[in-house]
Chain A
Amino acid sequence: MSKVRVMFSPVTRLSGLLSVDVILEQGRVVEANAGGTMFRGYEWIMRDRAVTDAVYMTQRICGICSTAHGAAASYLLDELYDHELSENAQYLRNIMFAADFLQNHIRHFYFFSLPDFVKMPERPPFHGQNPADIRLNPEDNQRLAGHYFEAVKAAQESHQILALFGGKAPHQHSFVHGGVAAAPTADKIEQALALLGNISEFVKSRMVPDTELIARVYSDYFRLGITPPQFLSFGLFRFGVKNEKFLWRSGVLADGRLYPPRLELISENITSSWFEQTDAEEIKPAPLKPGAYTWVKSVRYAGRYFQVGPLARMMINGFYQGGAATMDRIYARTMETLLLTELAREWLKNLKPGPPPVSQKSTPVKKAVTAATDAMRGALLHAALIEDEKVVKYNIITPTVWNFSPKDGLGGRGPLESALAGTEIPSQNMLFTILGRTIRSFDPCISCATHLLDCKGGVKAEAVF
């Protein structure tokens, strides 16, 4: 039987531009090459800039998860300048970070994922939706489609909490190195609590039951889109004077055992990526490179691929004991959303009204710093080499790079590509529908993923280069 090649492009309803080159044989996906098709060269852009610009500059890597980059850059600068963080600063930072998580997860579930399972009204931007395999009964379908429009406000209110303290969103301004520049006044805390009340209500009465219904009706997706059970997280929500405590632990989960992550075991590869090595220390973009198919590089830990994201966090922290399939990823994200509404409320209650919890020192104590945290989509790493408070090199490894790693020439597939390979496609008409569900379950962000620059691979814990 001959092989058929189908280009799944554009994969809509995600952040950034993605094309997946699919090879089919006898109604089964035998290979999938996922191509991130945008490149901005952000690590080059970061060079020669004042390192204190990193918080605002790196947020502009990503519109849907900007606070995560701002947080990573702030942690990095906290270490560089040896800052001490007050308890109030940490509560406020985490409230802002959680608000952006809520925004992300609600928008991902309703705007990006839901139209994979629910028939939307036949008008723009939903016209031409392929109705194949829409299984909800008309009454449930109509209710869930209606929730798409209710999600508009819940997500907007999440960003309103972020803007209350951060001045604007995306790309908030006040979560900076040394703490938070805005004052947590009683009126803002009260407003944030009121907004959070609305969001919590939405998550409890809509998002959770909607997810459960979809999980029930599409329960076969607990057996589809399976990745090897290897999960990684850099931990989430910092506390302590030196950012030394995590609320949710970091970890590497493989072969049923949990290890602490060791950053020196991370390696990158450009075999299938549009880059070429110019010398030992430098690579450059090469959009015409034969055999390459993406701007995303391969990243591995101890020579193996790892899945990152809400499912990884929930697994590593022992909150979820399920599989590693498409529906597990969707389910874990909703579960995390619910947990975050509760945590944010607790933090808002612990936050003490008072002056801006920020204190910045002006003399760097290091030349090379690394910050690792989890972002909405999973593990995020920023690393910088600094000279005279200017960036010499800035390296970023985003979550989508872990999940959308292309083949590295040593065999084996990254999480997304392995989740797609082997998928049965009962009719040609369902190809995009089925694969789209699995692709989106990773909540890909291609704008984030395609900025990589590193030398030869091998990220070291303290000095990255």
Chain B
Amino acid sequence: MQKEEFSKICRELSSGGSHALSRAILPAVKEHLASHNKKKLPVIWLETNDSGDNNIAFMNTAYPYLDRVFTEMLDLLYSNTFMAAQGRDALSILEQVSETYKGKFTLVVEGAIPKKDNGLYNIIARTETRCITALEAVTRLGGPAEYVVAIGTCAGFGGPTAARPNLTGSVGVRDVLDREVINVSGCPVNPDWFVGTLAHLLMYGRPDLDKLGRPTLFYGFTVHRHCQRRSYFDNKDFAKKLGEIECMFSLGCMGPRTGADCPYRQWINHVSWPVKANTPCIGCTNEDFPDGSSPFFTPMAEKSKGQEGGKNASNQGGEQA
């Protein structure tokens, strides 16, 4: 499969009964691996400061399901969530694989990186004599990684972990590494965005990225552009309260300045998304989430007036609606 075709599948709107978006990924990866004699993608996954929602989101991947991702796509060499090894056995594995796969592994970081007090607000492991902070681990592994992928909005831009007053001085991975970071934002990430990005890395290398370092194939258009309620917006027909079927711009919807394909990709085997559940999009893929989106149920123009938390109040790299 050629890169263009792959990107097309990822972008394609749902047609008929088949949500071919992710269902097509696995066979394509298998075929590609077979024809190019490539191995699976070696991944080192560090959990830092977030809620752990992104590893749960990853478990929700469908077509391919998690078991097939493990057996056919990734070699998850280190993961606090999944690995069978524990204690110093796990730590030895981390040391060993970061050496063996130097220059070849993909570093996945899940969570923001606290910088205050030398990063003591997140310790990924301890030994009898010292603490390994997330700051140290990400800095050390970021260099020798072939790719660095920040999964979720905390890892990408700080997210809820760095929300005001940000006592821990947390930042996104891009702010502690002097190199390109692929941001797969979302709170949590949609598993398709993450698994699709890894599939791209495996088969074609780095995907095209927007200004915020996010793969354009998932984040290239605003939620607003493809929203099923767009006609209500255009007719200025707005919902007055939750549960109504009209446009929820009046109820704080962030769709117009949020780059994500939720309206057609949807969530958890593509069954629904927040607007379909009669609630506004809260802009969780954005650089300034959550401060730039709060109060969540207040119309966009009146949100967070005078708040410094919104680092980038302009368009978030998604195409303007």
Interface residues of A (CB under 8 A from B): 5-17, 19, 21, 35, 37-41, 44-45, 47-50, 52-53, 56-57, 60-64, 66, 103, 107, 111, 115, 120, 123-130, 148-149, 152-153, 155-156, 159-160, 162-174, 176, 178, 181-183, 191, 285, 287-288, 355-356, 358, 360, 431-432, 436, 445, 447
Inter-subunit contact A49/B295 (CB<8 Å): yes
Determine the chain A residues whose CB is within 8 A of the CB of B120 once the complex forms.
287-288
Inter-subunit contact B267/A169 (CB<8 Å): yes
Inter-subunit contact B267/A285 (CB<8 Å): no
Closest chain-A Cβ to B138's Cβ sits at a distance in Å of: 14
Closest chain-A Cβ to B79's Cβ sits at a distance in Å of: 5
Closest chain-B Cβ to A326's Cβ sits at a distance in Å of: 16
Q: Could you pull out 28 A-B pairs where Cβ atoms are within 8 angstroms?
A: A7-B88, A9-B87, A10-B86, A13-B82, A17-B47, A37-B126, A38-B123, A41-B168, A50-B295, A53-B295, A60-B290, A103-B56, A127-B83, A128-B89, A148-B67, A149-B67, A152-B65, A152-B66, A152-B67, A160-B269, A163-B269, A167-B273, A171-B284, A172-B277, A182-B272, A287-B117, A287-B121, A447-B50
Determine the chain B residues whose CB is within 8 A of the CB of A355 once the complex forms.
243
Across the A-B interface, how many residue pairs have beta carbons closer than 8 Å? Answer: 283
Interface segment out of the listed B159-167, B173-181, B211-219: B159-167
- Checking A163, A169, A356 against B242 with a beta-carbon cut-off of 8 angstroms, the contacting residue is A356
Inter-subunit contact B67/A115 (CB<8 Å): no
Determine the chain B residues whose CB is within 8 A of the CB of A358 once the complex forms.
242-243
Q: What residue of chain B has the Cβ atom nearest to residue A177's Cβ?
A: B242
Inter-subunit contact B56/A170 (CB<8 Å): yes
Q: What residue of chain B has the Cβ atom nearest to residue A62's Cβ?
A: B51
Inter-subunit contact B87/A181 (CB<8 Å): no
Determine the chain A residues whose CB is within 8 A of the CB of B29 once the complex forms.
none
Inter-subunit contact B126/A9 (CB<8 Å): yes
Determine the chain B residues whose CB is within 8 A of the CB of A285 once the complex forms.
121, 167-168
- A10-B125, A356-B242 in contact; A163/B278 too (CB < 8 A)? no
Inter-subunit contact A9/B125 (CB<8 Å): yes
- A169-B267, A170-B53 in contact; A63/B188 too (CB < 8 A)? yes
Main secondary structure of the interface of B (DSSP, over half): loop
- Checking B56, B241, B275 against A63 with a beta-carbon cut-off of 8 angstroms, the contacting residue is B56
Q: Within 8 Å of chain A (Cβ to Cβ): is B54?
A: yes
Inter-subunit contact A174/B278 (CB<8 Å): yes
Question: Which residues of B from 61 to 94 have beta carbons under 8 Å from A?
Answer: 61-62, 65-67, 70-71, 74-77, 79-93
Closest chain-A Cβ to B203's Cβ sits at a distance in Å of: 19
Q: Within 8 Å of chain A (Cβ to Cβ): is B221?
A: no
Interface residues of B (CB under 8 A from A): 47-57, 59-62, 65-67, 70-71, 74-77, 79-93, 114, 117, 120-128, 131, 160-161, 163-165, 167-168, 170, 187-188, 241-243, 267-269, 271-279, 282, 284, 290, 294-298
Inter-subunit contact A127/B298 (CB<8 Å): no
Inter-subunit contact B168/A39 (CB<8 Å): yes
Determine the chain A residues whose CB is within 8 A of the CB of B85 once the complex forms.
12, 127-130
Q: How far is the CA of A370 from the CA of B272 in the complex (A)?
A: 32
- Checking B161, B188, B276 against A40 with a beta-carbon cut-off of 8 angstroms, the contacting residue is B161
Inter-subunit contact B60/A159 (CB<8 Å): yes
Q: How far is the CA of A445 from the CA of B274 in the complex (A)?
A: 26
Inter-subunit contact A432/B86 (CB<8 Å): yes
Inter-subunit contact B122/A39 (CB<8 Å): yes
Inter-subunit contact B62/A156 (CB<8 Å): yes
Determine the chain A residues whose CB is within 8 A of the CB of B48 once the complex forms.
38
Determine the chain A residues whose CB is within 8 A of the CB of B187 once the complex forms.
60, 171
Inter-subunit contact B89/A432 (CB<8 Å): yes
- A19-B123, A64-B56 in contact; A165/B84 too (CB < 8 A)? no
- Checking A6, A40, A173 against B274 with a beta-carbon cut-off of 8 angstroms, the contacting residue is A173
- Checking B65, B81, B242, B282 against A176 with a beta-carbon cut-off of 8 angstroms, the contacting residue is B242
Q: How far is the CA of A160 from the CA of B266 in the complex (A)?
A: 11
Q: How far is the CA of A174 from the CA of B60 in the complex (A)?
A: 19
- A57-B160, A66-B53, A432-B87 in contact; A10/B80 too (CB < 8 A)? yes
Determine the chain B residues whose CB is within 8 A of the CB of A38 once the complex forms.
48-49, 121-123
From B127, B271, B275, B277, name the one whose CB has the most chain A CB atoms within 10 angstroms. Answer: B277
Q: How far is the CA of A293 from the CA of B271 in the complex (A)?
A: 44
Inter-subunit contact A8/B87 (CB<8 Å): yes
Inter-subunit contact B268/A159 (CB<8 Å): yes
- Checking A63, A127, A129, A153 against B52 with a beta-carbon cut-off of 8 angstroms, the contacting residue is A63
Closest chain-B Cβ to A144's Cβ sits at a distance in Å of: 14
Inter-subunit contact B167/A41 (CB<8 Å): yes
Q: How far is the CA of A167 from the CA of B298 in the complex (A)?
A: 20
- A125-B76, A181-B278 in contact; A152/B59 too (CB < 8 A)? yes
Determine the chain A residues whose CB is within 8 A of the CB of B127 once the complex forms.
7, 9
Determine the chain A residues whose CB is within 8 A of the CB of B298 once the complex forms.
50
**New A-B contacts (7) at CB < 8 Å, excluding given A17-B47, A107-B59:** A12-B83, A44-B167, A63-B56, A124-B75, A149-B67, A152-B66, A159-B268
Closest chain-A Cβ to B94's Cβ sits at a distance in Å of: 9
Inter-subunit contact A169/B84 (CB<8 Å): no
Closest chain-A Cβ to B150's Cβ sits at a distance in Å of: 16
Q: How far is the CA of A163 from the CA of B297 in the complex (A)?
A: 20
Q: How far is the CA of A117 from the CA of B271 in the complex (A)?
A: 35
Q: How far is the CA of A129 from the CA of B85 in the complex (A)?
A: 5
Determine the chain A residues whose CB is within 8 A of the CB of B47 once the complex forms.
16-17
- Checking B243, B275, B294 against A49 with a beta-carbon cut-off of 8 angstroms, the contacting residue is B294
